[in-house]
Each structure stands twice: as structure tokens, then as C-alpha cells.
Amino acid sequence: MINIYSPYEIDVEKFSSDPRVWEIFANKFMNSLDNIKNLMLLTAPGYSWILAQTYDFSDLQSADLSRIIRDILFGDLFIGDMVVTISQKLNIDLQTAQQMSSKIINELFAPVIEDIKKMQREKFPDRVGQGGASATRPTMPQPPPPPQMKNAPPINQGNVIDLRVNSNS
């Protein structure tokens, strides 16, 4: 039986049925750093299970969460896209996806975050600055500028109160 909470096991049956796909997957895993492999095999399944229980995920949502974690650990998914990907794949609101993404980064990925950042800079050089902080934070859209008042009424200076003036003096 496949462990849907394991980023390594989740698609292993499907991958192994196609020798070309299996070779790609096996190479990604074998070329990963030991601490990434250990996290994927030993830590991530339990962590994914806890998240799935906490958020009351279905089996399909749990499996998709494992795939997202795997894709980040392999460097196939830009970590800055994690919030949107979690929201879309797991069909949850962006605020919950942001909370979950932060938990994953700060808790699950914490022991390997520097390795993830390095991999992200190598695989997504056009999307990640060399500073590293942007590697773990999605870019947020800027709010629109305030509307311009074309025919704003003139301000009557007699109605303006200067709060800097002390009225007790």
C-alpha cells in the first residue's frame, strides 16, 4: 500500500511503470543531498499526516500536499509559488494556504532551508534574488494607487485644524 503522506512514495508505482519517468525520478532522488533525502523519507510523511489531520484533508488533498513537498525538495516547484499551488491543488483559501506554507517552511523545511534556498537560486535564477529572503516568501501584488480626484473641491483653510498647535497655551 502506498503511503499518501510520503513525498517519496506517493507516485512511486506510477513512476515505476514507465522506465523513462522512473529514471528521471530516481536520478532526482539519488542526486539530492542526504539531508533532503532523509527529510523526504523520514520526517515529511509524519509531518504531512499531522497537517492532513489538522486541516481535515481528504486522501486526495493529502496526496497533493505530499507532491507539493516533493516538488519543492526536488527543486521542481518554485517555493515562492507554494501558497498559490497549495491553494489551487488542495482547493483551500489563500489565507489558509499561506498559514500552511509558513508552517511547512518554518517547521518541516527548517533543517534544510539553506539547501532549498541554494537549489532554488540555481533552478530559478530569474525568480530568486541572491539575498535568499525572497526564496521563502511569495511575491505579493502591490495594491492599486488611490484614485485621482480630477475636480476636487478647494479646501477651506478655516476648516483645517492644526493638531500640532497646543490649545492649552
Q: How does pLDDT run along the chain (169 residues), one tens digit per residue? A: 778 999 999 998 888 889 999 999 999 999 999 999 999 999 999 999 999 999 999 999 999 999 999 999 999 999 999 999 999 999 999 999 999 999 999 999 999 999 999 999 998 888 866 444 444 455 555 566 655 556 655 666 666 666 666 656 5
Q: Can you read off the three cell numbers belonging to residue 89?
A: 491543488
Residues ≥6 apart with Cβ < 8 Å to 120: 75, 78, 79, 128, 135
Count Cβ atoms below 10 Å from residue 27 Cβ, excluding itself.
Answer: 10
State how far the Cα of 140 lies from the Cα of 142, in Å rounded to an integer.
6
Q: Is-above-0.75 flag for pTM?
A: no
- Nearest 10 degrees: CA dihedral of 63, 132, 39, 7? 20
Task: Report yes or no: 70 and 40 within 8 Å, Cβ to Cβ.
Answer: yes
- Closest C-alpha to 98, from 136, 53, 132: 136
| Of the candidates 51, 29, 56, 62, the residue with the CA atom closest to the CA atom of residue 104 | 51
